[in-house]
């Protein structure tokens, strides 16, 4: 469906996407209202991907915002295309909800396109929330750079240099450059396809690289200008996906990108090198981001589904402790229970078992019976330590597929092997009578 015809459209259509970033969305809209010129004719079309944090309600009540509420998370590319098909402006601003405009940024971007009729689009200068420079621009990677991005080859000098070139380390961003960024990019409608901006086969990653490549092949120039400045949280929504889902989308979409841009023998070489890298890490006892099943799917270009909007924290309780049942009961009775989910984890069994079993207790509770690698772990300390590491791996594999941070309750020294396997990064004070927990984020 193309843009509506009939009455003249506004000068600018702002295409805003949102997924569980309510506060960032509020700051984005506030900064937009402060930077927009009073005489600018513009519209805001927002697409919310089934958020559960109140983002959609915020957008619905915001002036000048036309909201599309999706019943599921369709991804960034599809959401932008939804907004695009309803837009009417000759200029389009693709905008992430974690962008905050600095004074004059929008008018500077508009003026650049007005003064440079040959320019197809423009992106601003990015800063981190702390004011430091953020490199967040699309570069078309060389084949060695793609290998270095996802394997240990980044340590090899030639591949490391290719990766640094792709990441634009040490380059000059104080002058206009031919660069683009899908997080905040203003484009002329006439250079775009009539029904879509991004390729929806790439829901989260690499869609902006394909767009930049398509525009470049058509002879269109997209610029970065340092006089237009924004702050960017970077990955406010993506980090909620969970590390396994996020990496599978990154790797699977990269394989899809290579299929479009590289000959078949290079795609095959890429798959073999990534698979060998994975097996080498496992052989050396290093952590890997995907199971072998998920890795094989990603290497076929299958990114898998996106999670729903549930981003509540996880309270993880090991049920082999004397205080597990009271903690679980308190979690269920707590009036704030709706703000978190509960995962009860059974201890290793006395007999070996090879598969995990997951059962749902209620709307906010699950019970995980993990595998047991060695029998008689309750009597043999070495077997117990090995079994608990297996338990930790099973818990992490489950949680890596879920959104939300993790609050871990440890029972005693026998649970210590779990530490370091769930990504703990912050000590959290424990309730009276309950051992210390650690919060693990998805940054």
pLDDT value at 403 more than 80: no
Is 289 within a domain? yes
Q: 238, 260, 286: which is the final residue of a domain?
A: 238
pLDDT value at 437 more than 50: no
Q: What is the mean pLDDT of the chain?
A: 85
Q: Give the pLDDT confidence score for residue 424 in this predicted structure.
A: 39
Question: Does 183 lie in the same domain as 120?
Answer: yes
Is 308 within a domain? no
Please calculate the CA angle 247-251-257 and round it to the nearest 5 degrees. Answer: 145
Give mean pLDDT, residues 99-106: 96
Q: Is 248 helix (H, G, I), strand (E, B) or coil?
A: helix
d(CA 374, CA 370): 12
* Residues 3-39: b if buried by 16+ CB within 10 A, e if exposed: beeeeebbebbbbbbbbbbbebbbbbbebbeebbeee
Question: Does 214 lie in the same domain as 110?
Answer: yes
Give mean pLDDT, residues 65-87: 96
Question: Does 259 lie in the same domain as 390?
Answer: no
Question: Does 167 lie in the same domain as 201?
Answer: no
d(CA 190, CA 192): 6
Question: Does 150 lie in the same domain as 128?
Answer: no
pLDDT-derived band at 327 (thresholds 50, 70, 90) equals low
Question: Does 403 lie in the same domain as 264?
Answer: no
Question: Does 293 lie in the same domain as 193?
Answer: no
Here the contacts of 65-70 (C-beta below 8 Å, separation 24 or greater) are: 65/16, 65/29
Question: Does 254 lie in the same domain as 195?
Answer: no
Is 407 within a domain? yes
Strands 42-48 and 184-188: unpaired
d(CA 12, CA 416): 56
Question: Does 348 lie in the same domain as 206?
Answer: no
Query: What is the domain range of residue 255?
Result: 242-299
Is 367 within a domain? yes
Give backbone dihedrals phi and psi of 365, rounded to 5 degrees, phi first.
-135, 140
**Number of folded domains that form the chain:** 4
Question: Does 206 lie in the same domain as 82?
Answer: yes
pLDDT value at 227 more than 50: yes
Q: Give the pLDDT confidence score for residue 109 in this predicted structure.
A: 97
Is 27 within a domain? yes
Question: Does 128 lie in the same domain as 273?
Answer: no
Is 34 within a domain? yes
pLDDT-derived band at 397 (thresholds 50, 70, 90) equals confident
The percent of residues above 90 in pLDDT, for the chain, comes to 56
Q: 272, 299, 326: which is the final residue of a domain?
A: 299
Is 5 within a domain? no
pLDDT value at 20 more than 50: yes
Question: Does 228 lie in the same domain as 86?
Answer: yes
pTM: 0.80
Q: Which residue has the higher pLDDT, 418 or 435?
A: 418
Cβ(12)–Cβ(89) under 8 Å?
Answer: yes
pLDDT-derived band at 370 (thresholds 50, 70, 90) equals confident
Cβ(400)–Cβ(243) under 8 Å?
Answer: yes
Is 2 within a domain? no
Q: Give the pLDDT confidence score for residue 433 in this predicted structure.
A: 38
Q: 275, 299, 323: which is the final residue of a domain?
A: 299
């Amino acid at each position: 469906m193309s843009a509506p015809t009939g009455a003249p459209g506004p000068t600018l259509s702002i295409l805003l996407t949102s997924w569980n970033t309510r506060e960032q969305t509020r700051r984005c809209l506030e900064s937009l209202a402060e930077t927009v010129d009073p005489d600018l004719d513009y519209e805001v079309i927002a697409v919310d991907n089934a958020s559960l944090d109140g983002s959609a309600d915020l957008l619905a009540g915001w002036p000048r915002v036309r909201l599309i509420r999706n019943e599921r998370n369709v991804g960034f590319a599809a959401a932008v295309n939804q907004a695009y098909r309803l837009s009417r402006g000759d200029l389009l601003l693709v905008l992430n909800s974690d962008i905050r405009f600095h004074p004059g940024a929008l008018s500077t971007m508009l003026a650049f396109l007005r003064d440079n009729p040959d320019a197809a689009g423009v992106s601003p200068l990015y800063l981190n929330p702390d004011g430091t420079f953020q490199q967040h621009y699309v570069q078309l990677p060389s084949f060695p750079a793609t290998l270095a991005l996802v394997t240990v080859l980044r340590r090899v000098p030639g591949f490391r240099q290719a990766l640094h070139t792709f990441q634009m380390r040490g380059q000059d961003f104080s002058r206009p450059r031919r660069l683009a960024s899908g997080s905040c990019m203003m484009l002329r409608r006439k250079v775009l396809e009539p029904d879509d901006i991004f390729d929806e086969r790439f829901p989260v990653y690499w869609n902006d690289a394909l767009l930049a490549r398509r525009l470049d092949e058509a002879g269109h120039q997209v610029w970065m200008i340092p006089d237009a400045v924004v702050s960017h949280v970077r990955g406010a929504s993506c980090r909620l996906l969970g590390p396994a889902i996020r990496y599978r989308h990154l790797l699977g979409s990269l394989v899809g990108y290579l299929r479009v841009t590289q000959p078949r023998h290079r795609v095959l070489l890429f798959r073999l090198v990534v698979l060998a890298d994975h097996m080498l890490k496992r052989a050396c006892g290093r952590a890997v981001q995907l199971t072998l099943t998920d890795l094989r799917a990603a290497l076929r270009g299958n990114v898998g589904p996106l999670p729903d909007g549930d981003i509540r924290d996880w309270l993880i309780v090991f049920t082999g402790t004397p205080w597990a049942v009271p903690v679980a009961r308190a979690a269920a009775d707590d009036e704030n229970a709706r703000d978190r989910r509960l995962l009860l984890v059974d201890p290793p069994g006395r007999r070996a078992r090879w598969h995990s079993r997951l059962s749902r207790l209620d709307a906010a509770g699950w019970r995980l019976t993990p595998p047991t690698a060695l029998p008689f772990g309750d009597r043999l300390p070495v077997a117990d330590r090995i079994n608990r590491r297996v338990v930790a791996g099973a818990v992490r594999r489950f949680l890596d597929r879920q959104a939300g941070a993790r609050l871990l309750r440890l029972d005693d020294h026998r649970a210590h092997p779990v530490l370091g396997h769930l990504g703990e990064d912050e000590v959290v004070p424990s309730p009276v009578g309950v051992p210390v927990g650690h919060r693990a984020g998805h940054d």
